[in-house]
Structure 1
Amino acid sequence: MHKCYGRFGIDRCRNLQGVRMNRFEGKTAVVTGGGTKGIGRATAARLVNEGAHVFITGRRENELKDAVAAIGRNVTSVPGDITNPADLDRLYDAVAAHGRGLDVLFANAGVASFATIDETTPEHLDHIFGINVIGTVFTVQKAIPLLNEGASVIINASTSAERGAATMGAYAASKAALRSFARTWANELKDRGVRVNAISPGPTDTSGVAELVGAENIAAYNESLAAALPIGRTAHFDEMAGVVAFLASSDSSFMLGANVYVDGGVNQI
């Protein structure tokens, strides 16, 4: 179904086959959660393919190594946990040593887990909000001294923030918080020449989702999601990467504080 992204996937094969633009030539980017096979890694590859040098970070060192090998050039991995301030400092020290400041920050790292209100525990809330909200707040805060004039910050939110799906309360609330922060940060950083926007992905076929529901269940899970989506399928992570690259580039120069839904119509129709 994902060959050329299936229905409405007009002209998308050309990007997968290596057509290269140069929107990010000489630019430096950071992508958190860039190791696993998903939106972060795909975005890092897209930015590199368009000329950037990208720093990726994540908690799983082996997956970061795999990502570096897969991307192949102009990518530096800095293992770390965004909930650990010292790890964020190491990440941005590496960016500073690169000597070009920071032009793109994709705050992508996040986690999800299922729990109804009856099942919710303090540990569950601490885990979800600690990574998705607190970790993202300090990912952005610690990047500010490095952000160049014209830099773009993109926050990975979610369509879940507006849907009220059962068992997803903490995750949805954490993403709603990020959407709110993106508006505030857009206002606070605009006078420094920094744009902040958000992307709200719909259901996307990533390794993180497979881990959440179980590899043995992922095909049935994606099929059930596809049946509920107006577009008739789940997304490929490269489709999300294309929108993140758009928000990162000057092609979106008049966008500030926006939330771009890339959701197959689920929250639109």
Structure 2
Amino acid sequence: MNLKNKVAIVTGGNSGIGLAAAKELIAQGATVIITGRRKEAINKAASEIGAIPFVADQSNLHDIDLLGETVEKQFGKADILFINAGITGTPDLIEEANEANFDSVMNINFRGAYFTLSRFIPLLNDGASVVFLSSNTATLHSPKSSIYQASKAAINSIAKTAAAELAPRKIRVNTISPGPTRTDVLNKSYGEESAASIWDHLADVVPLKKVGVPEDVAKMVAYLCGEAASYITGADFVMDGGMTLN
């Protein structure tokens, strides 16, 4: 119960890494508010793990404001902010890129994440922990991933600036950059059989010969929010089985 009596917000908490992180934070004693765009999905996830649901789209600044107002009204302040919500967008070469995909990815992954932090800074207790979900792709520069990669590189940059700005209040800001992590995203896009083949291929290119699971990242989120990580800020934790070594 390392996080007993802590209030935590997890954006994009109805599935994947966000859901696993919310579950881990609850297991360690925190009261957790999870957000998501789909009411049915967020309510179902919250009831399963004992979280508090809040329907919000991270790309919508009005929703972010309402979330902040609700947290302030119900809890006063928060201790943990895990800015997790994000999308990959469509894989396009730079010369084939379109504005709609660019705007969609940047509005959620960068603009939304930035203003979630901005709006919540006044609501964070001194000594609070902020964690951004980034990606190892921010430094890999793979073809057809320019927009997504740029959105995550931007997150890494603002997290370090925020760490410097918030250090006087002992608020720590860090990023976690996973590599391939087994969620339902590929199943939904390609079907189970094709997704299994993709995961097998990804495991082959990872030095540890496996892909991650959401629980791996969840444990790191919880660690960074606890007392054991009280001297860590402005850091990026790459969790990719050594993929970036190649």
For the superposition of Structure 1 and Structure 2, which TM-score range results when normalised by the shorter chain?
over 0.9
Structure 1: runs of 5+ lacking an equivalent: 1-21
Structure 2, unaligned runs of 5 or more: none
The count of residues paired between Structure 1 and Structure 2 equals: 245
Q: Is it true that 1:65 corresponds to 2:52 in the alignment? A: no
Query: Relative to structure 1, is the Cα distance of residues 267 and 218 closer, same or farther in structure 2, using a 3 angstrom cutoff?
Result: same
2:139 to 150, 162, 185: 162
- Greater helix content: 2
* Equivalent position of 2:169 in the other structure: 192
Q: Of residues 151, 156, 181 in structure 2, which corresponds to 1:179?
A: 156
Distance change (3 Å), C-alpha of 1:98 and 1:236: same
Amino acid at match of 1:55: I
Query: Are residues 1:93 and 2:69 paired?
Result: yes
Pair 1:228 & 2:212 matched: no
Give the whole-Å Cα distance in 1 for the aligned partners of 2:79 and 2:108: 23
Q: Deviations over 1:143-173 (max 9, x none)?
A: 1111001100001110001111121111011
**TM-score, normalised by the number of residues in structure 2:** 0.96
The one of 18, 32, 47 equivalent to 2:25 is 47
Q: Give the Å deviation of 1:213.
A: 4.3
Q: Secondary structure at the match of 2:233?
A: coil
Identity, % of aligned pairs? 38
CA distance in 1, matches of 2:115, 2:193: 36
Q: Which amino acid aligns with 1:151?
A: A
Cα distance between partner residues in 2 of 1:51 and 1:146: 20
Provide the C-alpha distance between the structure 1 equivalents of 2:71 and 2:5, rounded to a whole number of angstroms: 14
What TM-score do the two structures reach when normalised by structure 1?
0.88
| Counterpart in the other structure of 1:12 | none
Range 89-98 or range 170-179, more displaced: 89-98
Kindly state the Cα deviation for residue 92 of structure 1 after the two structures are TM-superposed: 1.5
Task: Give the alignment's Cα RMSD to 1 decimal.
Answer: 1.3
Structure 1 segment 1-150 matched on structure 2, within 5 A: 22-36=1-15, 38-71=16-49, 73=50, 75-113=51-89, 114-150=91-127
Cα distance between partner residues in 2 of 1:166 and 1:212:
19
**1:261 is matched with which residue?**
238
CA distance in 2, matches of 1:125, 1:29: 30
